[in-house]
Amino acid sequence: MDSVENEARRNAACQVAKSSMSKKTVDRYKPAPDLLVGRTILVTGAGDGIGRAVALTLADHKATVIVLGRTAKKLERVYDQIEQAGNPRPAIVTLDLSQATVEDYEKLAKTLDDEFGQLDGLIHNAAELGTLTPLALYDLGTWSKVFTVNVHAALMLTRACLPALHKSKDASILFTSADVGRQGRAYWGAYGVTCFAVEGMMQILAAELEANTAIRVNSLDPGPVKTAMRTRAYPGEDTEHLPEPESIMASYLYLMGPDSKGVTGQALSAQSC
């Protein structure tokens, strides 16, 4: 059930999002060097690929970044790079999202509260690719693992972080999606289905938080980017032409900073709007 006013508000927000996130606007977006000063932002899958670039970029714009991932060594390298650049000291959370329990998320929530008091951003970036296999043959163990990391962990982490996000005056939750989660494509199996689920979770959460909270919720499809996951999905591809993760950071800065205030419930794309 939806009121006419709510629908009108959503349409207006959609217009804002379309105009604010057009490729031209993002290409021209010049974030202030200290855009994220005073903000604490948690990024999952921050040890490699897009998540690593996001963590470094947010820190370069003066956010305190909480880097979450499963490989401590990779997270420590990101930590060191942020410190060496003289940016706000980050924090590391080593957690395998395929194994994490409700207690792990509760512990994380307590640490967030004790250490930071509030959270201004949450970027769900870690994902499990699974295999490219017809649904008729898809291995159910792999199916379950992909759902655990891409959907269940995102829900549990969001719930754990909500109290800290509610304490922020301007908080942003960003889910990572992909084109195969917006239009079904053969053989993308559990990964494709979980991207659809993530889009649904984003829309429902955005609608629930739209009234009387300062938390906006959107999803972003990074588009094709040169990372280990891309190579796993397209092993024979010539990667020469693929953009580096660093080249798509404007969308992340825009969505984590104050310039995207009022943009919520939108399925956005980093490379083509």
Ligand X SMILES: NC(=O)c1ccc[n+]([C@@H]2O[C@H](COP(=O)([O-])OP(=O)(O)OC[C@H]3O[C@@H](n4cnc5c(N)ncnc54)[C@H](OP(=O)(O)O)[C@@H]3O)[C@@H](O)[C@H]2O)c1
**Which residues are the active-site residues?**
191
Could you tell me the smallest distance in angstroms from the CB atom of residue 143 to ligand X? 15
Nearer to ligand X, 76 or 210 (CB): 76
Going by C-alpha positions, the residue among 216, 143, 214, 144 that lies closest to residue 175 is 216
CB 96 within 8 A of CB 122: no
- Report the alpha-carbon distance of residue 19 to residue 3 in Å, rounded: 25
Nearer to ligand X, 59 or 225 (CB): 225
Secondary structure of residue 267 in the 3-state scheme = strand
Nearer to ligand X, 149 or 173 (CB): 149
Could you tell me the smallest distance in angstroms from the CB atom of residue 147 to ligand X? 12
Residues 131-141 as b/e (b if ≥16 CB within 10 A, e otherwise) read bbeeeeebeee
Could you tell me the smallest distance in angstroms from the CB atom of residue 10 to ligand X? 25
- Report the alpha-carbon distance of residue 109 to residue 222 in Å, rounded: 28
Could you tell me the smallest distance in angstroms from the CB atom of residue 83 to ligand X? 19
Binding site for ligand X (CB under 6 A): 45, 47-51, 69-71, 74, 96-98, 125-128, 149, 176, 178, 221-222, 224-225, 227-230
Query: Tokens 């199916």 belong to which residue?
Result: 143
CB 90 within 8 A of CB 105: no
Nearer to ligand X, 76 or 170 (CB): 76
Residues ≥6 apart with Cβ < 8 Å to 74: 47, 48, 52
